[in-house]
Amino acid sequence: MAGLAPKTKVLRDGRWGEQEAAILVPGDIISIKLGDIVPADARLLEGDPLKIDQSALTGESLPVTKNPGSEVFSGSTCKQGEIEAIVIATGINTFFGKAAHLVDSTQNVGHFQKVLTAIGNFCICSIGIGIVIEIIVMYPIQHRRYRDGIDNLLVLLIGGIPIAMPTVLSVTMAIGSHRLSEQGAITKRMTAIEELAGMDVLCSDKTGTLTLNKLTVDKSLIEVFSKDIDEDFVILMGARASRVENQDAIDTCIVSMLSDAKEARAGITEVHFLPFNPVEKRTAITYIDGNGNWHRASKGAPEQIIDLCNLKEDVKKKCHSIIDKFAERGLRSLAVCQQDVPEKTKESAGGPWSLVGLLPLFDPPRTDSAETIRRALHLGVNVKMITGDQLAIAKETGRRLGMGTNMYPSSSLLGQHKDESIANIPVEELIEKADGFAGVFPEHKYEIVKKLQEMKHICGMTGDGVNDAPALKKADIGIAVDDATDAARGASDIVLTEPGLSVIISAVLTSRAIFQRMKNYTIYAVSITIRIVLGFMLLALIWKFDFPPFMVLIIAILNDGTIMTISKDRVKPSPMPDSWKLNEIFATGVVFGTYQAVMTVVFFWAVKESTFFTEKFGVRHIGENNEALNSAVYLQVSIISQALIFVTRSRSWSYVERPGLLLVAAFCVAQLIATVIAVYANWGFARIEGIGWGWAGVIWIYSVIFYIPLDIFKFLIRYALTGKAWNNMINNRTAFQSKNDYGRGEKEAQWALEQRTKHGLRRPENTELFNDRNNYRELSEIAEQAKKRAEVARLRELHTLKGHVESVVKLKGLDIDNINQHYTV
């Protein structure tokens, strides 16, 4: 096995020899040549530049150029050149070693268990307080019988503990996990669902996720240098100079631009093909056309083709200017030229070469990426591009996707050589404001995720390679994209089975719906605990009323059976990232529970101490009949307690939002059973007596009347906690939502302004056109609508705001379809 250990050529004791890579130490001089895997982090010494494949570290498949003085990293592969280097780090201290160490050392504790523990502790403490008060009052003060006291304590324990909570929440997440798998997102850790619902930052890899990971030619930017030809001819010449079989990435890119790959050889006879080599840096084909004339076509590095064509100085300047312009936008340039071969032999030099054109090569965004990012922004999820590619390419991709170009190199995070413009900006602020980072390695990705988490963001991370594993493990939600490596899948929480980001947005919406169901139940559970503890404690202490524990058990069984159906309830996902806000959940539960407890006390007083119901509804007086009184209290508690779920599940008025049919059916069946028990049951062991349909009707009327204020309490609580109750009620938005939108409106308005400037449109006098703070009272509604329609129309006519204008229009409450029918430029 020792013979399989990687070896490298190293200078020891003044002599070169082959040694195992494991014995290298910092300071050793090693030799790196074509095909070698770099054995340790090293700095290149004097020599020619190398082409290094860093895909194992950055995920980018195209090699990068490393000049003398640059660092090369362990695990990367030499694709071209030969040079000596000095070792600067080995083992765990290398970039690759640090990545492996980060994966092993990362330990995350999920939010879900913390929430369950906190809610459970709150309920137990509430029950404990009630029990202590009852013991102190009933025995030392009221001198109650021992058995009566035990019965009352059992009522609090049986009815107050949310026994079904772990089951309901687990079933809800399990059903949600199945729904996500149907949408192309397989959940490895179920608790990741609730974290996905609260995700407000998504760090996305570029290659293969935002883009197709497939080079293409941007036809609109092709530069033509010969007369009487067009862009299609430039592509055709490039395709002829490409292989039609056994293609590399560039050959595939050029040939795929043709409507049919067979066009590359249509009407010609191939005589000789010169493949690409590192010296000439071009490919060439010698062929015979249909008239018997011989020609050559060549494509390759622009510098090589320019030298081959012997161009005039002004044409050379134009070429270099175009190449520089492409480079600034992150586009790779490919030159195409042709010549006649009058000698009609493949060995002949041929006539003068003529430059045909320059092709810009680019890894294009996925067709759905721009729309997906727009939807993500609209959902309050800020998308940051994290790529190992060059900064210029990252900015160009960001520009095309409409996600911004405020991007920085990886050196701004951990490097010592920072640009002066960002040298004084704290790393945390830089990460917060940046649209992305380029040239990143595993340690950089890990650091970005870590800083975002320290700033209290719920951070998601997508990745597909070994280099992404540390960040995937560290992130709150690690997402392995389609075709990810085993290492990435192992470190992730969710594995996608479909390419692109669109499936993530669908998963976010689904997870928010799942989270909404769980939050609805937790508010309900806390409310019921307070309602049972406070209500029955007051009855036991004020009137010395001993409610039978068996009937509380019946209430708990029926309630828990019904509440299980909430896992399939109809809900609307929150429009913004949602998360557990325990203070708000507890406050809402206390208010709802206290109100219901007071309503039960009032009902008991009205039945026992007055003849109100007897006089108004003609029912018999049961105030002195404890068994009938038990039945009446049982039915009232059962109805109003279970009906509370319709209040906690809705965002606005509970009778406006239609619940799931399964929940309604379960509620009706449970309350029918409860009503029949109260009407007919004469159970001596449970100390209840049938009260008849008259009293059942009275209790239902009482419960319905005092159910209505629950919605009002909901809005009052929301207003007291957030100050946004009425807006949420009108806009049908979820309570307790976190509205951290990263200045989405400002960013989109700024983008729209840039598009106006770019296309020569005059700046609007009022730059606050898209600002939510416009004073609508100062302008008539007609004038305001007309102004917005005109602004949107100008931009849409230019075909530049496919996604962004629609987003801004939606934010302002306009109907884009109506605008389309009326706008004019």
Q: What is the CATH number of the domain that holds 28?
A: 2.70.150.10
Q: Do residues 222 and 347 both lie within one domain?
A: yes
Q: Do residues 403 and 470 both lie within one domain?
A: yes
Q: How far does Cα 239 stand from its chain's mean position?
A: 40
What's the rounded Cα separation, in Å, for the pair 735 and 46?
A: 64
Q: Do residues 374 and 358 both lie within one domain?
A: no
Q: Quickly list DSSP for 468-509.
A: GHHHHHHSSEEEE-TT--HHHHHH-SEEESSSSSHHHHHHHH
The predicted pLDDT at position 419 comes to 60
Residue 462 has pLDDT above 60, yes or no: yes
Helices (H), 137-206: 146-160, 165-182, 192-197
pLDDT per residue as tens digits for the range 13-28:
888 888 888 888 898 8
Q: To which residue do tokens 């049972």 refer?
A: 532
Q: Between 709-722 and 582-609, two packed helices, what is the crossing angle to 10 degrees?
A: 150
Q: How confident is the model at residue 173 (pLDDT cuts 50, 70, 90)?
A: confident
The predicted pLDDT at position 682 comes to 92
Question: Which amino acid does the sequence have at 804?
Answer: H
Please give the residue that has the higher pLDDT: either 416 or 500: 500
Q: How far does Cα 626 stand from its chain's mean position?
A: 58
The predicted pLDDT at position 691 comes to 93
What's the rounded Cα separation, in Å, for the pair 128 and 120?
A: 12
In a domain, 406, yes or no: yes
Q: How far does Cα 705 stand from its chain's mean position?
A: 43
Mean local confidence (pLDDT), 694-714: 93
In a domain, 154, yes or no: no
Residue 138 has pLDDT above 60, yes or no: yes
Q: End of a domain among 362, 378, 404?
A: 362
In a domain, 679, yes or no: no
The predicted pLDDT at position 603 comes to 95
Q: Quickly list DSSP for 6-39.
A: -EEEEEETTEEEEEEGGG--TT-EEEE-TTPBP-
CB atoms within 10 A of CB 470: 31
The predicted pLDDT at position 732 comes to 45
The predicted pLDDT at position 538 comes to 93
Q: How confident is the model at residue 66 (pLDDT cuts 50, 70, 90)?
A: confident
Mean local confidence (pLDDT), 426-434: 87
Q: Do residues 378 and 353 both lie within one domain?
A: no
- Beta strands 77-80; 83-89: pairing state: unpaired
Q: Do residues 394 and 335 both lie within one domain?
A: no
Residue 808 has pLDDT above 90, yes or no: no
What's the rounded Cα separation, in Å, for the pair 35 and 6?
A: 13
The predicted pLDDT at position 571 comes to 85
The predicted pLDDT at position 729 comes to 47
What's the rounded Cα separation, in Å, for the pair 90 and 93?
A: 6
What's the rounded Cα separation, in Å, for the pair 486 and 497?
A: 14
Share of the chain above pLDDT 90, in %: 28
Mean local confidence (pLDDT), 309-324: 89
Q: Quickly list DSSP for 660-726.
A: PHHHHHHHHHHHHHHHHHHHH--BTTTTB---HHHHHHHHHHHHHHHHTHHHHHHHHHHHHHHS-HH
Mean local confidence (pLDDT), 179-189: 88
Q: Do residues 318 and 372 both lie within one domain?
A: no
Domains of the chain: total? 4
Q: Do residues 355 and 376 both lie within one domain?
A: no
CA distances from 32 to 20, 92, 164, 368 (A): 14, 21, 64, 42
Q: Do residues 228 and 207 both lie within one domain?
A: no
The model's pTM is 0.69
Mean pLDDT lowest for which of 51-55, 596-600, 727-731?
727-731
The predicted pLDDT at position 183 comes to 87
What's the rounded Cα separation, in Å, for the pair 664 and 659?
A: 7
Residue 195 has pLDDT above 90, yes or no: no
Q: Which residues of 65-88 are buried (b: 16+ CB within 10 A; e: fewer)?
A: ebeeeeebbbbbbbbbbebbbebb
Q: Do residues 221 and 253 both lie within one domain?
A: yes
Mean local confidence (pLDDT), 592-614: 93
pLDDT per residue as tens digits for the range 81-119:
888 999 998 887 887 776 666 655 555 555 777 888 888
In a domain, 191, yes or no: yes
What's the rounded Cα separation, in Å, for the pair 373 and 234?
A: 34
Residue 805 has pLDDT above 50, yes or no: no
Residue 317 has pLDDT above 50, yes or no: yes
Please give the residue that has the higher pLDDT: either 551 or 822: 551
Q: End of a domain among 313, 332, 362?
A: 362
Q: Do residues 243 and 351 both lie within one domain?
A: yes
In a domain, 483, yes or no: yes
What's the rounded Cα separation, in Å, for the pair 341 and 350?
A: 4
Mean pLDDT lowest for which of 162-166, 244-248, 378-382?
244-248
In a domain, 99, yes or no: no
pLDDT per residue as tens digits for the range 728-777:
444 444 333 333 444 444 445 554 555 444 444 444 444 443 343 443 33
The predicted pLDDT at position 791 comes to 47
Q: End of a domain among 346, 362, 378?
A: 362
Averaged pLDDT of the chain: 81
Cβ within 8 Å of residue 24, ≥6 positions away: 8, 10, 30, 39, 40, 87, 90
Tell me which residues are annotated as active site: 205
Taken as a whole, the chain contains a residue count of 825
Mean local confidence (pLDDT), 781-802: 43
In a domain, 17, yes or no: yes
State the DSSP H helix or E strand holding residue 297, giving kind and residue range, or none if neither. strand 294-300
The predicted pLDDT at position 35 comes to 79
Mean local confidence (pLDDT), 568-597: 88
Residue 815 has pLDDT above 80, yes or no: no
The predicted pLDDT at position 65 comes to 81
The predicted pLDDT at position 761 comes to 45
Residue 778 has pLDDT above 60, yes or no: no
Mean local confidence (pLDDT), 435-442: 84
Q: How confident is the model at residue 785 (pLDDT cuts 50, 70, 90)?
A: very low
The number of C-alpha atoms within 13 Å of 565 and in the hemisphere containing its C-beta is 20
Residue 181 has pLDDT above 80, yes or no: yes
Question: Which amino acid does the sequence have at 750?
Answer: Q
Q: Do residues 299 and 393 both lie within one domain?
A: no
Q: Do residues 199 and 220 both lie within one domain?
A: no
Residue 214 has pLDDT above 50, yes or no: yes
Give the domain range for residue 442.
185-212+367-502
Q: How confident is the model at residue 278 (pLDDT cuts 50, 70, 90)?
A: low
Choose among 7, 10, 6, 41: nearest CA to 28. Answer: 10
Q: To which residue do tokens 């009002």 refer?
A: 712
pLDDT per residue as tens digits for the range 655-691:
888 888 999 999 999 999 999 999 999 998 989 999 9
pLDDT per residue as tens digits for the range 493-540:
899 988 878 888 888 988 998 888 888 889 999 999 999 999 999 999
In a domain, 739, yes or no: no
